[in-house]
Structure 1
Amino acid sequence: MGRGDLTNAEWVQLEPHLPASGLRGGRWNDHRKVINGILFRVRTGIPWRDLPGRFGSWKTVYERHRRWSADGTWDRILHAVQAAADLAGRIDWSMVSVDSTSCRAHQHAAGARKNKPRVAKKRSTPRHHRPDEGLGRSRGGLTCKIHLAGEGGCRPMSFLVTPGQWGGAPQMIAVLERIRVSRPQGGRPRTRPDHLGGDKAFSSRRNRSYLRRRQIKHTLPEPKDQRANRRRRGSEGGRPPRFDSQTYKRRNEVERTINQLKNSRAVATRYDKRAYVFHGTVRTAAIRFWVSAPDPRDTPWF
């Protein structure tokens, strides 16, 4: 077993959720070897053609990753391992925090064709495919942004990839609506945390109304301009939002989640041209955290 490969304990958690066969009745090549190759590339960020020979053909590894990113296989695997973790009591629903992080796009990530890519079995637009490919141009060049929600155990619950110039506050609702943890023993999937934390950038009337409507307690500091505008309006401005400084200290959990996620070099720097492939890359890194030791802060796999 090489450095960064799946351990036996991790493979036991992951294997039941993998596809059983390939296209047209054929059989997949060894799942474990191919997934180890995908994890190696996600961790190191090397070009696919430079994968070590112990993982087999680089094209097989790449095509498996691209296909699973397009047809939603990585999404289903992530939801399955999250459901298993929730059943074992490993998800800390007491506090879920939201934040965003920018990722510089390598020059190899630019220049994707504008026509619709062809996907195995279907010639439809893949999931998470964006006409803008999730790339935005800023003063520093091409960038993309990952908006995510992380639970108290520093694991990502859901995320969204957008161009780099997009703000985090308008994406908060979309990120929260992607939290959906099924319950294998029966019942509706859980979609609502007990408490939500975020910095003052997420404080807006739209976001607070959404959280109140869903009865989600939240700790979002009020910016100075919003505070001044509320006071200027007098009684029409309403009461000041409740803020607990002790609860707000837990917002560092999502910062640590981002830090762990960007330890994967293919996440910290985007090398994938297609948005749906990069989305699958982030999903793969997230899946590794969920099948790792109970607390990834104590046992990093890098």
Structure 2
Amino acid sequence: MGRGDLSDEEWARLEPHLPRSAGRGGRWRCHRRVINGILFRQRTGVPWRDLPSRFGKWKTVHDRHRRWSADGTWERILRAVQADADAEGLIDWSMVSVDSTSCRAHQHAAGARSRPPRVPGRRSMPDRRGLGRSRGGLTCKIHLAGEGGRRPLAFVITPGQWGDAPQLIPVLEQIRVPRPAGGHPRTRPDHLGGDKAYSSRRNRRYLRRRQIKHTIPEPKDQRANRQRRGSRGGRPTGFDREIYRRRNEVERTINRLKIFRAVATRYDERAYVFHGTVTVASIRLWLRT
């Protein structure tokens, strides 16, 4: 076992959730060796062609990662691993925080066409690159919801210039932790924390409708606008400084994700492949529980 490979304990937790066959009567090559190759590329950020020979053919490793990113296999594995952790009581639902981080796109990620022809099995996106141009160049943004144990519950990939507030609802809609005993998956945290970038009437109305307690500071301009409107502006928003201190947990979650060089710097051309890259990094963090 090389440095960074799956340990026997991690493999025992992951293996039951992996696909059993490749379809058309074929069989997958050794999952463990291929996934270790994917993790090696995640950790180091090397080009796929430069993978060490101990992981087998680089194209096999690359194609499996691309295919599982396109058909949602990585997402299903992530939710299955989260369900196992929830069944053991290892998810801290008492405080879920949201935040975002920008990822600079490498020049190798900037060559894809913005609207390529539709390919069966791939995700439907208006711009399949998911890149935005800013002063720093091409970037994308990861909008993340993390639980109290500093592990990702859900995330959304957008171009780098997109704001944080409009992505709060899409991120929360992605939280779906299945219950092994049956029933509806858990989708609602006990409390939500976020910085003032997520403060908006639409977001607060959504959280109240779902009966999610939240601690989000109100910016000065929004406070002044509410006071100017008098009774029509509504009641002041509640804010607890002690609870707000726990928002650093999602920032530490982002730091743990960006230990993977292929997440900190985006090398994937397509947004769905980079989404799979972030999903694999999230799975690894959950396996280390």
Pairwise TM-score range, normalised by the shorter structure? over 0.9
- Asked if 1:150 corresponds to 2:146, the answer is yes
- Asked if 1:87 corresponds to 2:87, the answer is yes
Identity across the alignment (%)? 75
The letter for the 1-side match of 2:117 is K
Matched-pair contact (CA < 8 Å) for 1:79–1:182: yes
d(CA) in 2 for partners of 1:128 and 1:281? 18
- Offset from partner CA, 1:110-158 (integer Å, 9 cap, x none): 121332354xxxx24x136452510001111100000010000000000
Q: Equivalent residue for 1:193?
A: 189
Q: Equivalent residue for 2:276?
A: 280
The letter for the 1-side match of 2:24 is R
d(CA) in 1 for partners of 2:84 and 2:126? 30
Q: Equivalent residue for 1:226?
A: 222
- Asked if 1:181 corresponds to 2:177, the answer is yes
Please report how far the alpha carbon of residue 186 of structure 1 lies from its aligned counterpart in structure 2 after TM superposition. Answer: 1.6
TM-score by length of 2: 0.98
Q: Secondary structure at the match of 1:24?
A: coil
Matched-pair contact (CA < 8 Å) for 1:130–1:275: no
Q: Equivalent residue for 1:115?
A: 116
The letter for the 2-side match of 1:182 is P
d(CA) in 2 for partners of 1:257 and 1:151? 9
Q: Secondary structure at the match of 1:101?
A: strand
CA RMSD in angstroms comes to: 1.0
Distance 1:52 1:103, change over 3 A: same
Q: Secondary structure at the match of 2:24?
A: helix
Q: Equivalent residue for 1:171?
A: 167
- Offset from partner CA, 1:75-121 (integer Å, 9 cap, x none): 10001000000000010000000000000000000121332354xxx
Q: Equivalent residue for 2:71?
A: 71
Matched-pair contact (CA < 8 Å) for 2:128–2:270: no
Q: Equivalent residue for 1:215?
A: 211
Structure 1, unaligned stretches of length 5 or more? 295-302
Q: Equivalent residue for 2:54?
A: 54
- Asked if 1:20 corresponds to 2:16, the answer is no
The letter for the 1-side match of 2:271 is A
The letter for the 2-side match of 1:5 is D
Q: Secondary structure at the match of 2:97?
A: strand
Q: Equivalent residue for 1:300?
A: none
d(CA) in 1 for partners of 2:274 and 2:8? 27
Structure 2, unaligned stretches of length 5 or more? none
The letter for the 1-side match of 2:90 is R
The letter for the 2-side match of 1:198 is G
Q: Secondary structure at the match of 2:182?
A: coil
Matched-pair contact (CA < 8 Å) for 2:266–2:274: yes
Q: Equivalent residue for 1:43?
A: 43
Alignment of 1:239-250 (within 5 A): 239-250=235-246
Q: Secondary structure at the match of 1:211?
A: helix
Q: Secondary structure at the match of 2:12?
A: helix
- Asked if 1:270 corresponds to 2:271, the answer is no
Q: Equivalent residue for 1:297?
A: none
Distance 1:132 1:33, change over 3 A: closer
- Offset from partner CA, 1:18-40 (integer Å, 9 cap, x none): 00011311111100000000000
The letter for the 2-side match of 1:210 is Y
d(CA) in 2 for partners of 1:14 and 1:269? 26
Aligned length: 288
- Asked if 1:99 corresponds to 2:105, the answer is no
d(CA) in 2 for partners of 1:150 and 1:272? 24
Matched-pair contact (CA < 8 Å) for 1:72–1:127: no
d(CA) in 2 for partners of 1:117 and 1:18? 27
Q: Secondary structure at the match of 2:15?
A: helix
The letter for the 2-side match of 1:115 is P
